[in-house]
C-alpha cells in the first residue's frame, strides 16, 4: 500500500514518533521490574514500530479533522489516536496465536519468537507452550498500554471521556468478532452472510468506523456526524477485510509478508470460501472441503484450491462486493457533515485501503 496519503501533514512519521517515545518509557518501567522482561519490551517495540499501515490512527485523526480539528493544534490528538495502533497490535498477536501463524509482516510471529527463545535458552518444558503463553501476555500488555497512551495523551479529560464509549465499544466488538471467527472455523459450514458478520466485527468496525468515532468524539461532534462516519466506515471496513481475504489466498508473499495460501492452511471460513462452497460445482466443493485447513498443504494444493475458488466465481463475486461497499461508503461523505478536506482525504483512504496489494 502506498503511504503517500498517510504522510499528509507528516502523519505517519508523527504517529511512529509518538509510539516510539511511549514504548521507550514503558520499556524503562519493565526494566525496573526485571531484566528478564527485556525480550518483552524489545519484541513489542519491534512489532509495533517495524511495519504496519497505521490505518487505524489515520482514520482516527481524520475523524477528528472531519469534526473541525485543525492541523495547527493536533499534537495531543496524534498521540491519542496512536494508541489505536496498540489495540491493533494486540489483535494481531492474539490472532496469530489462534491461527497458529508462523509469520507476520515478513518475520516470525511473536509466539514463534518466544518459542525460539525457549529453545535457544534450553529452558524446561514445551517451547510451543511457552511461546503461546508469552504471546498471549504480550498481546494483553499492548492492550493495557493502549488505554494508558490514550489517557495520557495530553488532551483534556472531558475530551477523552467523550471518546471512551466508542473506544470501549471498539474493544468489545473486536474480541466478539475474534470469538465468532474461532467458532466459525470449527463449524461444518458457514454462510457468506455469517462470514461477513464475522468480518464486520473482527476487522471492519475497529479498522474504520470506531477510529472515526473516537476521533470525532475527541473533538466533540454531532450525532449526525457519527452516523455519517458509520455509513462510510462499516462498508469501507468490510471492503478492507474482503480485500484482505483475497490477499490471504492470492497475495504475493513478498508483499503481504505471509506465506502463499496461509489462510487456506489455517482453514479460514471467509466470505470467499463460503461463496465458493455455495456456487462451486460438486467436484470443486469436494476438493475445498477436503483440502481446506490442511496445515501441510503444499504448493500444488494451494494452486488447486485457488483454481476451485476461481472456477466457482467466488473471487469475482468478492471483487463485486468490494466495489459495491466502496461506492456505498464514499457516497455517504457527500451528505455534507464532514469537513471538506477531511471528506476528500477519507475518500482517498477508502480507495487506497480497498485496492491494496498488502
What number is the average pLDDT over the span 142-151?
98
Q: Which residue has the cell 482516527?
A: 60
What number is the average pLDDT over the span 127-142?
98
| pLDDT tens figures, 267-282 | 889 999 999 999 999 9
Nearest to 273 by CA among 255, 287, 258, 259: 287
Q: How many other C-beta atoms are found inside a 10 Å radius of the C-beta of residue 247? A: 17
pLDDT at residue 4, as a whole number = 53
Q: In 3-state terms, what secondary structure has residue 104?
A: strand
Q: Is residue 7 scored above 70 in pLDDT?
A: no
Kindly tell me the sign of the dihedral angle through the C-alpha atoms of 57, 62, 64, 70.
Answer: positive
Q: Is residue 50 scored above 50 in pLDDT?
A: yes
Element (H, E) at 107: strand 107-108
Q: Is residue 2 scored above 70 in pLDDT?
A: no
> Which domains does the chain show, CATH number per domain?
5-354 (1.10.600.10)
- 295 close to 100: Cβ distance less than 8 angstroms: yes
Q: Is residue 94 scored above 70 in pLDDT?
A: yes
Nearest to 347 by CA among 319, 320, 326, 318: 326
Q: Is residue 129 scored above 80 in pLDDT?
A: yes
Nearest to 199 by CA among 291, 250, 270: 270
The long-range contacts involving 144-148, CB below 8 angstroms and separated by at least 24 positions, are 145/22, 145/23, 145/26, 145/86, 146/83, 146/84, 146/86, 146/87, 146/90, 147/83
Nearest to 132 by CA among 108, 104, 96: 96
- Residue 313 burial (10 A CB sphere; 0-12, 13-18, 19+): middle
pTM here?
0.93
* Least confident among 159-163, 211-215, 246-250: 246-250
- Residue 135 burial (10 A CB sphere; 0-12, 13-18, 19+): buried
Element (H, E) at 252: none
pLDDT at residue 240, as a whole number = 95
Q: Is residue 254 scored above 90 in pLDDT?
A: no
| pLDDT tens figures, 218-235 | 999 999 999 999 999 999
Amino acid at each position: 500500500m502506498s503511504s503517500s496519503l498517510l504522510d499528509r501533514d507528516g502523519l505517519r512519521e508523527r504517529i511512529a514518533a509518538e509510539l516510539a517515545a511511549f514504548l521507550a518509557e514503558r520499556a524503562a518501567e519493565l526494566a525496573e521490574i526485571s531484566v528478564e522482561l527485556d525480550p518483552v519490551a524489545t519484541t513489542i517495540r519491534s512489532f509495533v514500530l517495524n511495519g504496519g499501515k497505521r490505518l487505524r490512527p489515520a482514520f482516527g485523526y481524520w475523524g477528528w479533522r472531519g469534526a473541525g480539528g485543525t492541523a495547527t493544534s493536533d499534537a495531543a490528538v496524534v498521540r491519542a489516536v496512536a494508541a489505536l495502533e496498540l489495540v491493533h497490535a494486540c489483535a494481531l498477536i492474539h490472532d496469530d496465536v489462534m491461527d497458529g501463524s508462523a509469520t507476520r509482516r515478513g518475520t516470525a510471529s511473536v509466539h514463534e519468537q518466544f518459542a525460539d527463545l525457549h529453545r535457544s535458552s534450553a529452558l524446561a518444558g514445551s517451547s510451543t507452550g511457552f511461546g503461546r503463553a508469552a504471546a498471549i501476555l504480550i498481546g494483553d500488555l499492548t492492550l493495557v498500554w493502549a488505554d494508558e497512551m490514550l489517557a495520557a495523551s495530553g488532551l483534556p479529560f472531558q475530551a477523552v471521556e467523550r471518546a471512551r464509549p466508542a473506544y470501549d465499544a471498539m474493544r468489545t466488538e473486536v474480541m466478539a468478532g475474534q470469538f465468532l471467527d474461532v467458532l466459525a472455523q470449527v463449524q461444518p459450514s458457514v454462510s457468506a452472510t455469517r462470514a461477513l458478520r464475522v468480518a464486520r466485527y473482527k476487522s471492519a468496525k475497529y479498522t474504520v468506523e470506531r477510529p472515526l468515532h473516537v476521533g470525532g468524539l475527541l473533538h466533540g461532534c454531532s450525532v449526525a456526524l457519527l452516523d455519517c462516519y458509520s455509513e462510510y466506515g462499516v462498508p469501507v471496513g468490510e471492503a478492507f477485510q474482503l480485500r484482505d481475504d483475497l490477499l490471504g489466498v492470492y497475495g504475493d508473499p513478498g508483499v503481504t509478508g505471509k506465506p502463499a495460501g496461509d489462510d487456506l492452511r489455517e482453514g479460514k471460513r471467509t466470505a470467499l470460501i463460503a461463496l465458493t462452497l455455495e456456487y462451486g460445482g460438486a467436484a470443486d466443493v469436494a476438493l475445498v472441503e477436503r483440502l481446506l485447513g490442511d496445515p501441510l498443504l503444499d504448493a500444488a494444493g494451494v494452486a488447486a484450491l485457488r483454481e476451485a475458488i476461481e472456477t466457482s466465481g467466488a473471487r469475482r463475486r468478492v471483487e463485486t462486493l468490494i466495489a459495491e461497499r466502496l461506492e456505498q461508503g464514499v457516497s455517504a461523505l457527500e451528505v455534507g457533515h464532514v469537513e471538506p478536506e477531511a471528506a476528500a482525504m477519507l475518500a482517498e483512504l477508502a480507495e487506497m485501503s480497498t485496492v491494496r496489494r498488502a
